Amino acid sequence: MKEEFKSWNEMTKLENRTKAKITFHIIMVIFSITVAISNKDFTWILVALLWADVAIMEYCDGKLLKGIESLNDIQEKHIEIQKDIINDLLKLNEKSTEFDSLKQEER
């Protein structure tokens, strides 16, 4: 598949390392909840919530960084296309002025 035709989901797909970190944090959430239930200690619920918060931050951070990279790539491609269009228009303008000057010489 060509680079230009990737969907937003494909461009902002998380790296395997980030997915592994998030998975570890979710495992720690589950572990903390089971410890809280087995020990009947409310403190472990707070620990589980903190691990969940870390997992959410990791996910958002990964998506934001990938999104910024993707937007920068898209902007660079658009700038190149705009430069090409401007150059083509300048060439067309030069040709039209040459044509106009030839018409005036004929008169």
- Report pLDDT digits (tens) over 35-77: 999 999 889 999 999 999 999 999 999 999 998 988 898 899 9
Tokens of 65: 């960084």
Place of tokens 């000057």: 101
- Look up the pTM and report it: 0.68
pLDDT given for residue 1 in this prediction: 40
Whether 92 shows a pLDDT value over 90: the answer reads no
What is the DSSP code (8-state) at residue 14?
A: P
pLDDT given for residue 91 in this prediction: 86
> How much is the average pLDDT of 20-40?
95
Q: Which of 75, 60, 50 is nearest to 14 (CA)?
A: 60
